[in-house]
Each structure stands twice: as structure tokens, then as C-alpha cells.
Structure 1
């Protein structure tokens, strides 16, 4: 009797035109021995998901056994009902480095599938193949370097960034931070397999410890997440006892600095909300720039953020279809809590009407930014130039960035809503922050404010009048 799938659900199933298909990846250790595609696709010839799961379990049982037999040389072909292999056997001779990389991929596939049996077989076969090079030290070294992962630290970076699907801004940050570490490692002659806790500690001491704590956290988070990916895909070997999700060797590297005496004028400065006077300059100051067509997008986006607390990316990528009468219906964002409905402030009605008239539902409110490769980055640079031109800036010694930026509009909204007496839970729901699950009453049971509460909170925030 075929056993039920432990993970259940619709794993290995694909619905196309109301017909279920079985879709399974072929491990690299198997692909290296037979002709065939990277994936097996079998038409299950049923629209019933229950029957599809039953047939899926039967096929999975067959493929699992055949994969093991092919990897160990006990059979040479893969045979499944309803599936016809195509292509010619692989005849091209691979060099030692290519074969080492192939066997490393085989191990990585087994690690990702959590198949210890196939992983052990792949490692044993790789060891046997290394012996076939005999006394040819150059070939043995090339094979060993490829198999053990003696490659540049950022060798898998672009594959990782493509796999995780981060927001464009976060993707750029991760690329830059991991790239910085890769350049440091290359300068010291270190390959990926030689980055252990000791080398990670050296990097942190030299490049991260002196940074602002927030920047430290961002840097270490980027490295930790990249190494978690490497561990899960089998590209690095973890010490015994380390979990693949720990982020080794970067976990626990940040040192909390405590006990330092605070001297007069030495308090750490943090980014802050705009002041009312700064808001007046941003909204009412004469246009200072040579690009008159930028004024509408900058003033409109700023006003929307000031009166909703929305993030820059959320404002710029609003679709006309996201306007649902008196609400902005945000369907995606930085976190799970970012998907939410935000009341449209009465002072935004004119802007929304002007930017939705004559447009289709899939058009952007800020249509002029849609052709840009990275709308957020383009707008951010324009806003910075505008902000500085109207005299809204706050630079401090030892702090790289200004303490005010577009995010200060979001902070201004939150501050004004708090001053108006609204609860932190209602404000958090409007700005898209996660509920505090440690607060059982509001974080677990009473998670959402009513529509009336949300509207009252938004409408109590008022723009400062022009003096």
C-alpha cells in the first residue's frame, strides 16, 4: 500500500486547465546519469484533487525508489507511467572542476530535499570519483575545490536574490552588504568554505562594530539570511550541532554596548518626524527646482504619506483600482501586516480625484513614475534634492544620513495620531505594523479596529496651516 504524503497539501501537484499534473524535480545525481529534463511532468488525468493526491503518492513512491537505484548505479533509466523521456544521453566529457560542481549540486539537492540517504550516496560517489584521478594532483585539486565549495563568497548571491523575491530596495541593500563582505574575503584570500565563526568575527570587528547599531543589525541580517540560504541548499557545511536556520557563523556576532556614561551632548541621534514648520516648507514653499513637472508628484506623494502614514513604495505603486471609494486598498507591501485598508483623508480627495480621472484600474496613480526602472529610488533622489532645496535637512556630526527623509512623513503622521489620543493598536493597523503578540488582549484576541475608529484616527491628523 502506498503511504500518504507526510507533508500533504498540494505538494508536487500543478493544476492546468482544470487537470492535475504531477511535477517533480530530478536530483542532480540522477540527471548526471540519465538523459532527461530537470523536472518530470506527468498528466494525472483528473480534476479531482483527492484522486490527484492518491496518484501523486503512487508516482512519488516510484520516483523515490528509482532515483536511489539510478544514483547507486543499479539501473540506468527512469520509467514512469504516462511519462516519456526525451533527448539523447549526455556524452560530452566533463572536466574535473565541472564534475566536482555537479556532485556538489547533487549533495545540495539532497540537502534541500532533506533526503539523508541520497545525500550519503552522493558524497560516497563523489569520493570514489575523486580517487579516479589517481596521481594527477591538478585534476584532483580542481575536483576537490569545486566539490568542497572553494568559490567566491558571492558566487551564489544572484541566485539567492532571485530565489527570495525581496523588494527592489532590500535586494539592492543585500547585494551591497554581502558584496562588501565578499570583497573583504577576497582581499584576504578567503573562499566561501573558509568562512567560519573566527573569520566572521574578524570581519565584524573590522567592518561592523564601529557602525550605528541599526546599521549593524541590517548588515548582519543580510549576511545571516544569505548563509541560511547557502546552508539549506548545501553550498556550505555546518559544524555538528548547528541548525540550518541559525545563520551560522553570523548568529550572535553583534555585541550590545551597555554601561557607557552619557556625556553632555553625546546622546545618540536618531531619525525623527518632520516638524510642523518643515511640513509647511515641503507643502507651501515656492517651487525651487528647474523641473516643474516634478512638483505635482513630490507634493502629492508627500501629502498622501503625511495624512495616511503610508510608506514611500506603497504610495508610489498605488493603482487606480486600489482606490475603493473612501479607502486605499493596499494589497501587498514590506510585511504581512502591510496588506491593509487605509481611510482616505478628506484633504486627499482632490489629489485622488485628479490622479484617477480617465485612467484604467491597472494604471498607477503616479503614472509618470511607472516607466522608471526603480520608481522608489528615482523618486527618493528627487525628493532629497527638493527637501534640501527648501531648507529641510538635519545633519549631525558622525551621522551619515540626515535625520529627516521621506519616512519622516510617516513618523509625523504616527506622532500626530498619538497626540490626538488614539490607541497604539489603531495607529499600528493604519500604518501597517504587526500586532504585538506578547499583548494577549490586543495582539491575539482584539486584533482589528473598526472602520469608524480608523477613519476617526486619520481625520484627526490635520496638516499645519500656512502662516
Structure 2
């Protein structure tokens, strides 16, 4: 028996003239396999290319079963066998169809019908589903997200968007194999087209990215007609001569900044009614204003990342986001208060330690708090206010620019790559010095605080 460890021939071994599939069963799943340590099955072919196609189908089925077992779902050996055999039969029939071998195809279909007769009830249904390829639209979603290695926030968003499409499909009894350009277009017309352009683009990107993965893995066929999600949205054109139409999200103006930093009504200057999370939100707002950091970077800081006069950002949206940010003198007391008595691995914002998505929770809380302060800028046709938590970051960049700080230094502090795109700065320069970064942060000054009301 010849075995291969290379990735191209993973789980394959040649016995005589027939390829076999062998895949280890995780310890936690073996109780459902009668304590077997591996799945071992004949792929019933001597052709390595056919064997690899059947291996891929069997591997996907096995991984889905392992996931179901881990989630606590009951899976019997008979169900495992029916799903496995159905996937192998499907790949065998597909290979013969592609080859145009009608005699062998007839024999394969007859053999599949005979094998189907061995199953009853739920097992037969599983066999039929595997043979037909009629799996739910989101059948391979988790495998895709794991391979995509997106940021945590993006992963959660894209999971939700693809599952939203899957629910729509389930309501219309559509399965993965049913999704063609026509059905994709119907979903876009019914669910996406009326969204704000940015929201629509994000929604479509999530589904299109999932379909690209399915195509790469041979789970859907896009060779003839392409990705069904391509060119599904009408290009957006700006309204000519409308200043409001081109108005984008903006920094806070000084009055707005003071209102949210001190919890006061924008118009009257009166203190707003105290809320449960106001103190935490004001602290996060101050860090945002005096560091230029993103919300998700701020609220996931650990105590050990706030030492020696620097914030150490180790997990960010982009490679440029992994950086060290000087701690502004206006944040020293805040950091000291929030790190006192804590261990290096503790959260700086301990109020969020048990939240599944600290950034999303803070965004919602801050929106309510900001509106309570009377700070809002909603425009017709806009999905959200032109001022939001990101306005602290915009304000920081504006202040640094107005203080004469070079763009490359500001970009290094806030984690932008844009300021370093040229060959000179992007390739040859080692980046701004620590002293330059400190000077950048020091140049940002808060507006005069409001008089006590």
C-alpha cells in the first residue's frame, strides 16, 4: 500500500489498483463511530483525478459530521454511512457525465439505485440528499469563514448576511444547487436593492465571497455562467450639483465633542440624565479623541497593552493597524485608574469582558448616549448619522493635520497605509520615529471644556 502525506493527496492511499480514503476521527467524535479512530473507505477508482474529487466530497461530509457531533447533535453510524456513500456516488456519476461515458454512466446509476434500496427512512433521505447535492445554501459557511480568516467583526457580519440569504432560500424551498443568476437576481431585487448603497455593497460582498469559495472548492459550477452575484447591483451615480448628496461622515465640531465627553446637552449645556454605561462610554470617547484608535481597538485593550506610555495594538483590521500608539498626557489618569489592581490579561474596559462582541455593544450604547446628548446629523437617504464613534478618529486626524504633522506620521499613529503608499516611504523608510509619533499625539488638544452647569 502506497501512502502520501502531501496536501494534494491527503487522506489517499493506493491499494493495488484502487484508491482508498482514510481520515482520522477526532477523539471527541469517536463515540459516534463505535470508537473507531479513522474513516476508511474505498473510492472505487484507479484514476487519481477521480479519486481526488471523491476524496474532496468525502472530506467535506466528514468535517460537517464532526461539526454536528461537536455541537451535540445525535448522529448514528448508519446516517454517517448513508451521507458518505451518497457523496461518493454523486462524484462518481458527475465524473462519468463529464467524461461522456454513457455505458459506464448507466451502470453507475443502476448501482446507485441498488445501493439506495439498502437504506430506509432517514438514512435513505440522507443518501438521496447527498446524491442530488440538495444541501442547504449555508451548508459550507463555517468552512468558508474559517478559511477566509477575516477579522472577528467581519466574520460575524458576513455569517449573519449569508445566513439571512439562507433563510430567504429556505422560505422559497431553494437549495444550494438551485442558486443560479436568476434566483440570485431575485434575492437582490427583493432584499438588497432598496438598501443604502454601502449596506447593499457589504451584503453582496459577503454572499459573493462565499460563492467564490464554493466555486474554488468545486461545490458550485461557475465556469459556464460565472459567479451569479457579479454585476447584480446598478452602479451608483452622484447627484449632480448637490452638496448634501456628496456630504460624507465627518469629525465632531468642538461643541459636539464637549457634549459627548462631558455628558451634556448640546443646545442647553445641561447635564443629561445619568445612564448605566455613561462613565465607560465617556472613557472610551476620551481614548478615541486623544489616540485616533478605532473603536474595536479601544474596547478590546488588555491591561498589558497599556504600559510604558504606549498602547500596544496587536490585533487590527489591517497589517498597518498593528502598531504602538503613544498614550496622551490627557489619558494618563484614565489608564492608571483602569489598570489599577488588574492583571496584564485583564480587560482595560472590564465592563465589556463578558460581551460576545464588545465593539458592536459599545456602538449601540454610544449611539443612544450620543443622541441623548443632542449630537446627531441624520440626512435623507443616509443609513446612519454623519457623526458617530468614528468621528473621534476623524477629529484626531484633523487636529494632527492642522497642527502641521506630516501625513506619514499621522498614518503611522492611526494605523493607515494610505500615507505610506509611495515606493520611498512604503519600501525604503523604516517609518516615523517614536519621538515623531509622540509629537503627533501631543499636538492634539481638546477644546476648552464647557463651563460647569
With normalisation by structure 1, the TM-score equals 0.70
For residue 167 of structure 1, report the CA deviation from its aligned partner.
3.7
Deviation at 1:275, TM superposition (A): 1.4
Q: Please, which of 155, 158, 167 is the counterpart of residue 174 of structure 1?
A: 158
Cα distance in 2 for residues equivalent to 1:304 and 1:203: 42
Name which of 282, 287, 304 aligns with 2:260.
282
What's the counterpart of residue 32 of structure 2?
none
Give the secondary-structure state (helix, strand or coil) at the position aligned to 2:245. coil
1:452 partnered with 2:435: yes
Which of the two has greater helix per residue? 2
Q: Per the alignment, in what secondary structure is the counterpart of residue 329 of structure 1?
A: strand
Q: Which runs of 5+ in 1 are unaligned?
A: 13-23, 41-66, 75-89, 109-115, 243-247
* Residue 27 to residue 433, structure 1, CA distance change in 2 (3 Å): farther
- 1:277 is displaced (CA, Å) by 0.8
> Match of 2:24, SS?
coil
The aligned residue for residue 393 of structure 1 is 376
**CA RMSD, aligned part only?**
4.2
Structure 1 residues 229 and 34: alpha-carbon distance in aligned structure 2, compared to 1, 3 A threshold:
closer
Q: CA deviation at 1:317?
A: 1.2
Out of 100, 107, 111, the residue aligned to residue 86 of structure 2 is 100
Q: In structure 1, what is the equivalent of residue 235 of structure 2? A: 256
Specify the SS of the correspondent of 1:132.
Answer: helix
Partner of 1:201: 185
Unaligned runs of 5+ in 2: 28-39, 47-75, 265-270
- Tell me which residue corresponds to 1:311: 294
Partners of 1:343 and 1:181 in 2: CA distance: 43
Question: Displacement, 1:222?
Answer: 0.6
- Name the structure 2 match of 1:361: 344
Structure 2 length normalisation: TM-score? 0.72
What are the within-5 Å matches in structure 2 for residues 27-38 of structure 1?
37-38=24-25
Cα 1:96–1:204 change in 2 (3 A) is: same
Report the CA distance shift for 1:137/1:367 in structure 2 as closer, same or farther (over 3 A).
closer
| Conserved? CA contact 1:100–1:145, under 8 Å | yes
Corresponding position of 1:132: 111
Offset at 1:262? 2.2
Judging changes above 3 Å, is the alpha-carbon distance between structure 1 residues 143 and 28 closer, same or farther for their aligned structure 2 residues?
farther
Residues 33, 400 of structure 1: CA spacing in aligned structure 2 closer, same or farther, 3 A cutoff? same
Please report how far the alpha carbon of residue 175 of structure 1 lies from its aligned counterpart in structure 2 after TM superposition.
Answer: 2.3
Aligned-partner Cα distance in 2 for 1:39–1:127? 38
Query: How far, CA to CA, are the matches of 1:343 and 1:102 in structure 2?
Result: 58
Q: Which moved more, 1:452-461 or 1:442-451?
A: 442-451
- In the alignment, the residues of structure 2 paired with residue 106 and residue 296 of structure 1 have an alpha-carbon distance, to the nearest angstrom, of 63
Match of 1:229 in 2: 213
Distance 2:245 2:163 in 1: 32
Equivalences, count: 388
Q: Tell me whether 1:71 sits opposite 2:49 in the alignment.
A: no
Matched, 1:431 2:414: yes
